[in-house]
Amino acid sequence: MTALYWDPFDTTIDLDPYPLWRRMRDEQPVYHNDKLAFHALSRHADVEAATRDPRTYSSAYGTVLEIMTAEPMRTGMMLFMDPPEHTMLRTLVSRAFTPRRISLLEGYVRTLCAELLDPLTGEFDYVQDFAVQLPSRVISELIGVDPADREEVREEIDRAFHIEEGKGIINDVAIAAMARLHTYFREQVEARRKSPRDDLMSALVQAEVPTGDGARRLTTAEAADFAGLLVSGGTETVARLLGWACVLLAAHPAQRAELAADPSLLRNAVEEILRYESPSPVQGRTLTRDVLLHGTTMPARSKVLLLTGAANRDERAYADADRFDIHRRFDGHLAFGLGIHFCLGAALARLEARVGLEETLRRFPVWEVDHERAARLHSSTVRGYDKLPIAV
């Protein structure tokens, strides 16, 4: 038996981490990587308990291994905050980011899918031509980007996800694009303050929560940071989810045929795809105290990676966990996290995936993936396809 080594940056391991994740769950449920100095939890019960305990497992030092810091980050992004700051911000944005606002987008998502899919025939790249386009346009619509600015904003969003060999997601092109997006959102937020419209940005500046001596509203910087978080959290992940769906359904043609015949099965199928190939399988935390788990002490200030993707394949939680089954009955999965940081965009992601797949299957009930020419995208938090040529 070879020594157990897992590393989120190893592109070969990332192709199929599941055998290693199984060994980690069985042999070293508190894994330690000496080279990169982190612990990792992979069992469902442990990952779930940790996500529900933000006092011990802090997000304030960053949650993405590439950019985790020794001191709290203070970025203004709620993903990287602990209570009470997180609670206040999440309550405020939840006033604007309502299920109703999301459900109103269904018609728009469907029209957009038609616009993107109708011109495609023969051979095309499902990820580049469809899966990455859909979420960035939906986010622009949601935020309330002017139609005249949409193309430019979409290109900036693309650049914000530029990945450089050896540097990964943190590179000059991506940082400059994020900064320009932030400036754009600041200007837009300021404009909405002066003349509100019926859009998320206006709702964001109007939302307020009562405080002891009045009410608290979002500052311009906070609202712009939040718009930036929506862009970064809501684009990459949905693109990977649709890519995984395309690959999994091609590998399971009988299940694909069932979905094409009965789109009402898609809701559950989307949950199974999220469980089976979690687009964001690793969430970082920093310990605020010593933790003793399975006989190992993880000291305070340790970086701990919560392997939600491994937890979702834990046979302790799911029968025959490595089997892909769109009819699987299960209570839930960890692909959107849990607890206070539970994905704010989960309803939107589910909507985009369900409608995106329904519109795909309606036009192309059968396709084949060209695995030779497919390419993966690598970062420590997002896992999936960057290029996915298919023939319909």
Residue from 58, 63, 133, 360 that binds ligand HEM (CB under 6 A)? 63
In whole angstroms, what separates CA 104 from the centre of its chain?
21
Specify the 3-state DSSP secondary structure of 214.
strand
245 near ligand HEM, judged by CB under 6 A: no
286 near ligand HEM, judged by CB under 6 A: no
230 near ligand HEM, judged by CB under 6 A: yes
Which stretch in 12-20, 293-301, 337-345, 364-372 sits in contact with ligand HEM by CB under 6 A? 337-345
133 near ligand HEM, judged by CB under 6 A: no
Total residues contacting ligand HEM by CB under 6 A comes to 25
The residue (of 17 and 233) whose beta carbon lies closer to ligand HEM is 233
280 near ligand HEM, judged by CB under 6 A: yes
Q: Torsion over CA of 248, 249, 254 and 259, rounded to 10 degrees?
A: 130
Which stretch in 8-16, 235-243, 254-262, 322-330 sits in contact with ligand HEM by CB under 6 A? 235-243
Least gap, CB of 370 to ligand HEM (angstroms)? 24
Q: How far is CA 172 from CA 155, 176, 237, 254, in A?
A: 16, 6, 22, 45
Residue with tokens 């616009």: 115
The residue (of 172 and 303) whose beta carbon lies closer to ligand HEM is 303
Specify the 3-state DSSP secondary structure of 291.
strand
Cα separation, 190 vs 83, in Å, equals 27
Residue from 192, 275, 333, 341 that binds ligand HEM (CB under 6 A)? 341
Pair type for strands 303-306 and 38-41: parallel
238 near ligand HEM, judged by CB under 6 A: yes
Least gap, CB of 1 to ligand HEM (angstroms)? 32
Residue of 158, 367, 121 lying closest to 243 (CA atoms): 367
Residue from 24, 50, 68, 79 that binds ligand HEM (CB under 6 A)? 79
Spell out the residues 6+ positions from residue 341 whose beta carbon is closer than 8 angstroms to its own: 51, 54, 59, 78, 79, 86
Quick one: tokens of 96?
Answer: 């604007």
List interacting residues with ligand HEM (CB under 6 A).
Answer: 51, 59, 63, 78-79, 90, 229-230, 233-234, 237-238, 241, 279-280, 283, 335-337, 341, 343-345, 348-349
